[in-house]
Amino acid sequence: MIVGQQKKFDEIWEMVKGFRKVMVLGCNTCIAVCHAGGDKEADALASMLKIKAANEKVSMDVSHGAIQRQCENEFFTPVLEDLAKYDLVLSIACGVGVNFLSARIGKTPVYPGVNTQFFGGVPKPGFFEELCGGCGSCVLNLTGGICPIARCSKSLMNGPCGGTNKGKCEVSQDIDCAWFLIVERMKQLGTLEKLFEVQPPRDWSGSFHGGPRRVVVEHLRDIEEKQ
Amino acid sequence: MKAAEIQSTKGFTAESSELKESRPYPPCRAACPVHTDVQAYVADVAEGRYTDAFEVIRSVNPIASACSLICHHPCEQQCRRCGVDEPLGVRHLKRFALEQATDYRRSKRHAVAQTKGKSVAIIGSGPAGLTAANDLADLGYKVTIFEKNPTLGGMLSAAIPAYRLPRVTLQEDIDDVLSKGVEAKTNCEIGKDVTLAELSSKYNAVLIATGLSLSRSLNIPGVDSPGVLLALPFLSDAAYERKVDLGKKTLVIGGGNVAIDVARTAKRLGAENVEMVCLESEEEMPAWSWEVDEAVEEGIKIHYRWGPKAVKASNGKAEGLEVVKVTSVFDESGRFSPKFDQNETMLIEADTIIIAIGQMSDFSFLKDSAVKVDERGRLVWSQATQMSSAPGVFVSGEVVTGPGSAIAAASTGHRVATAIDLYLSGKNIEAALVSDRKDKINEMPKDIIQKLAVQPRGKVAHIEPDARCTSFIQFEAGYDEYTALREARRCRSCGAGAVVNQDKCVACLTCLRVCPYDAPIVTNKAEISPDRCQACGLCVPACPCQAITMVGYDVNAIRNSMPSIIGDKGAEPVIVAFMCSHYAAEKGASLSSNVRKVRVHCTSRVDVHDMLSAFEYGADGAFIVFCGSDDCRYREVYPRVKMRTELAKKMLGATGMDPDRLAYFRTGGEAGSDWVKAIEDMAAKLKEMGK
């Protein structure tokens, strides 16, 4: 799922303080699961804004709410008209939601309350870990199910590098060396010899470097549009 | 300074109340024949709202005070604490609540307008008759009770010994009913003073609720000897303080609750030696075990498994009972079918023998009436309509159900009142009279039992046996406030737990991860098992989508009522105290008027935004009062809510306010003085901060 983290409140306040009528809008899917931008977080953030506004003697009317997903038209249908009546919508969805709403709401600005981080998993309660780089060309079959793009600090395809140290990455002792993990996993699978095959340079055009990406599932398209 | 008015967030809303009624009952409520919302009134007691507790009790039980002393409390027998330690002291808590609310109760008595313009005659003023009178008066009917005894209450008044049920206590129930405008004619026997036909012609409907007013006798030689008495006339003589001649040695035949009452009454009337003889073994004996124990404590000897054969008498006076050994009481299918060994007999000496082997109805007043009695001596009636064979003549209570408990008879009083109302409104009774609901949650799972702390049941004092046998003084004391408050906290709130709004749930697993009892099951969406949920509420604030609510509790109550909680601010710093609703936790704590109390079922339910809302609406400080580890009835509340409070402090700090304006404090449960100091310290600190 997409993992994000709420922005520092000071930064949010700087964005918001000039507006009189503000809607804090949560998204009850990925970003709710990582407790950064669901219904509950929208409620608490709205409360903080009200406290701050009162202390700063700024007249601000803050509301809050959430929809199921801020990345699909249908979920906006019942609320879009209302949202357009605010001076600002502070979206605490991932960046997708901010983009999506911004393109549809008309003149009302949509600002982000969350820093969207990564595609991650939940190894234990309260922990969210980056596990996939969304590179557009998956190689997990070659690396024992451990993503070198997302989990190696250098995204090496032929690791490890000289910075590996007792299973940790030279970037931080808190980061496991992905290539150490890959070697251990390949040993366990009995496929260590595969790592002797040198991987050629990757074609990164399917990743961030080839411009914005789009996936089309032909059979799900609107009939009229297709015709 | 005087403590501020307690701001309660009891949190019942129409929606939460509806949700509560739509779910299976907790076993205590399901077991109660009138389905008293035990949990609700126990919570009211726990939270110090004694008059609210009274309202909950009285709303379904017009013989509440009597029940608070003599009910066999099926609620306790079904209590899910039984697996953990001992059942909750529900009956004692009922008594406590009613005693506390006495003045309030009397002040609420008032006549109900007789808007229906129709009248109902009720024959018999026992639990069934009184309950029906109560309900029909509430519905606007003119009700007249006909009672053959000098006092109202049926057996409660004419037979139950005063050491168990003082008549002043019973009178509270009777006064409630009479105050509604119910007329009562005592010393008025149907068939003698007035006929059933006269009642049928004068009233729009008649209810026969005459119960079982005759004692059964035995068909054995010598039973007519002087010195052989029947249970009910004996108890009635004792109840009305009429002279009873007892010899030195009294023998009671029977093993039921009436037999126990008879034996203990005989003891109090001065019989030197009281013994009982019954067909059953100790385990088979139908009397409630606690009543048997109390009788034995009073020196009453019980001969188990002997059957009466003949009364031995000489010189026109009973001398003893010849008994024969019982080999079995019930047949293979469990039916009553005693077998005897005629070779083994003995003589139990006694100059007074009282037969207490059961009761039956007296139908002499039905002679020549349209109300039919079948060839086996049973009233002909329809359970579906509660009506006898005569149109407009209804029946309820033990006269048709047979022997049972007072509260079971009362429940039939409710039902027949509904039936009479339907009849007098020209509606189809059978179609509209609903059957009793039986659904309830399951037993406490074994793994949960192991997770629950043992908290011994609060005891009540009994007068020592020697002392109590000298008079009819009430032998059992009630709870004092300290014990009642502690006892009420033992309730597990079974079934009043978390419910997931499936439309909002995103299956994030958070509830499952924070629940100390593994109650949530998450497949496509989360579901929370009512059998496992302990209603702590830890999952509610943890849910990122606000998809979890609590049965009988409005999760938005705190937030929504915060402006009124804060109210007008004076010169002193306003401090909001989020605390466990258990009154024991704050009792004795004299708090200054600037403290605004927000009492919740458990602080586990206080969310970050609840804490922030205090500041949003102008509080200068707030703090969470945690119960001590021995006092909290839930697991993991302190570490979990402490983390939550730390987060709220950070958030408060981020807005530019001093995070120390929000604090938490762990109390020793009753240590009111501790947290008076904590609050004073915070007030001083807030003043330093410039409020």
Cβ <8 Å between B655 and A55: yes
B604, B642 in Cβ contact below 8 A?
no
Minimal CA separation from B95 to chain A, in Å: 43
Dihedral Cα B33, B38, B41, B42, nearest 10 deg: 150
Chain A residue numbers with beta carbons less than 8 Å from the beta carbon of B541 are 40
Residue B91 sits in the same domain as residue B178: no
Residue B342 sits in the same domain as residue B222: yes
| A209: contact with B, CB 8 A cutoff | no
Give the dihedral sign, CA B97/B103/B107/B110: positive
Least confident stretch, B135-149, B398-412, B613-627: B613-627
pLDDT at B35: 95
In a domain, B546, yes or no: no
Query: Percent of chain B scored above 90 by pLDDT?
Result: 76
With H, G, I as helix, E, B as strand and everything else as coil, classify residue A38.
Answer: coil
How far is residue B131 from each of residues A192, B162, B617, B671, measured CA to CA in Å?
83, 21, 48, 43
- Evaluate if residue B494 carries a pLDDT over 50: yes
Of all residues in chain B, the one with the smallest CA distance to A27 is B545
Cβ <8 Å between B615 and A51: yes
CA terminus-to-terminus distance, chain A:
34
Domain hosting residue B71, numbered range: 26-108+437-491
Domains of chain B: total: 4
B689, B647 in Cβ contact below 8 A?
no
Q: What is the mean pLDDT of chain A?
A: 94
Residue whose tokens read 């499936």: B502
User: Mean pLDDT per segment of 10 residues, for chain A of length 227 residues?
Assistant: 96 97 96 94 96 96 95 93 96 97 96 96 92 92 96 95 96 96 97 94 83 83 78
Cβ <8 Å between A9 and B544: no
Pick from A1, A24, A40 the residue to mutate for testing the B interface (most B CBs within 10 Å). Answer: A40
What is the per-residue DSSP string for B176-196?
HHHHTT-EEE-S--BTTTB-H
In a domain, B522, yes or no: no
Cβ <8 Å between A51 and B607: no
Residue B230 sits in the same domain as residue B338: yes
- Domain containing residue B293: CATH number: 3.50.50.60
Residue B139 sits in the same domain as residue B227: no
What are B's interface residues with A at a Cβ cutoff of 8 A? 504, 506, 508-510, 513-514, 541, 543-547, 607-609, 612-613, 615-616, 618, 651-652, 654-657
| A38: contact with B, CB 8 A cutoff | yes
Pick from B502, B609, B657 the residue to mutate for testing the A interface (most A CBs within 10 Å). Answer: B609
Residue B378 sits in the same domain as residue B256: no
Three-state SS for B200-218 is: HHHCCEEEECCCCCEECCC
Least confident stretch, B83-97, B406-420, B483-497: B483-497
Q: Tell me the pLDDT tens digit for each residue of B307-359.
A: 999 999 988 889 999 999 999 999 999 899 999 999 999 999 999 999 999 99
Q: Tell me the pLDDT tens digit for each residue of A91-106.
A: 999 999 999 999 999 9
Query: What gap in Å lies between CA B135 and CA B140, rounded to an integer?
Result: 9
- Evaluate if residue B587 carries a pLDDT over 70: no
Domain limit, last residue, from B338, B358, B378: B358
Residue B187 sits in the same domain as residue B272: no
Query: What gap in Å lies between CA B675 and CA B665, rounded to an integer?
Result: 8
In a domain, B590, yes or no: yes
Portions of chain A given CATH number 3.40.50.2300: 2-118
Which residues 64-93 of A are in CB contact (within 8 Å) with B? 66
Of all residues in chain B, the one with the smallest CA distance to A1 is B508
Residue B80 sits in the same domain as residue B157: no
Residue B171 sits in the same domain as residue B304: no
Q: Tell me the pLDDT tens digit for each residue of B237-249.
A: 999 999 998 989 9
Q: How confident is the model at residue B683 (pLDDT cuts 50, 70, 90)?
A: confident
Query: CB-CB: which of B506, B514, B616 is closest to A47?
Result: B616
Write down the CATH number for the domain with range A2-118.
3.40.50.2300
Residue with the bigger pLDDT between B568 and B258: it is B258
With H, G, I as helix, E, B as strand and everything else as coil, classify residue B592.
Answer: coil
Q: Tell me the pLDDT tens digit for each residue of B593-650.
A: 788 888 888 889 899 999 999 999 999 999 898 887 777 888 899 999 999 999 999 9
In a domain, B421, yes or no: yes
Would strands B317-330 and B306-314 be described as parallel, antiparallel, or unpaired? antiparallel
Residue B224 sits in the same domain as residue B354: yes
Residue B151 sits in the same domain as residue B278: no
| A11: contact with B, CB 8 A cutoff | no
Q: Tell me the pLDDT tens digit for each residue of B514-558.
A: 999 999 999 889 999 999 999 999 999 999 999 999 887 788 888
What is the per-residue DSSP string for B518-547?
--EEESSSEEE-TTT-----THHHH-TT--
Measuring CA to CA, which residue among B212, B210, B188 is closest to residue B366?
A: B210
Q: Tell me the pLDDT tens digit for each residue of A145-186.
A: 999 999 999 999 999 999 999 999 999 999 999 999 999 999
In a domain, B156, yes or no: yes
* Cβ neighbourhood burial of A114 (10 Å; 0-12, 13-18, 19+): buried
With H, G, I as helix, E, B as strand and everything else as coil, classify residue B19.
Answer: helix
- Evaluate if residue B2 carries a pLDDT over 70: no
Q: Tell me the pLDDT tens digit for each residue of B186-205.
A: 999 999 999 999 999 999 99
Residue B352 sits in the same domain as residue B232: yes
In a domain, B115, yes or no: yes
Tell whether omega for the bond before B516 is within 30 degrees of 0, i.e. cis. Answer: no
Minimal CA separation from B655 to chain A, in Å: 5
Q: What is the mean pLDDT of chain B?
A: 91
A13, A83 in Cβ contact below 8 A?
no
Minimal CA separation from A27 to chain B, in Å: 9
Query: What gap in Å lies between CA B94 and CA B55, rounded to an integer?
Result: 11
| A2: contact with B, CB 8 A cutoff | no
Residue whose tokens read 């040198």: A198
Chain B residue numbers with beta carbons less than 8 Å from the beta carbon of A35 are 510, 544
| A170: contact with B, CB 8 A cutoff | no
According to DSSP H, which parts of chain A are helical? 9-16, 30-33, 39-55, 73-76, 80-83, 95-102, 148-151, 178-189, 223-226
Query: What gap in Å lies between CA B386 and CA B406, rounded to an integer?
Result: 18
Domain limit, last residue, from B358, B378, B399: B358
- Domain containing residue B620: CATH number: 3.40.50
In a domain, B542, yes or no: no
The one-letter code for the residue type at A65 is G
pLDDT at B6: 37
Pick from A17, A51, A114, A122 the residue to mutate for testing the B interface (most B CBs within 10 Å). Answer: A51
Give the residues across from B470 on adjacent strands.
none
- Stretch B453-464: mean pLDDT: 92
Cβ <8 Å between B504 and A39: yes
Of all residues in chain A, the one with the smallest CA distance to B506 is A29
With H, G, I as helix, E, B as strand and everything else as coil, classify residue B508.
Answer: coil
pLDDT at B586: 63
Residue B31 sits in the same domain as residue B76: yes
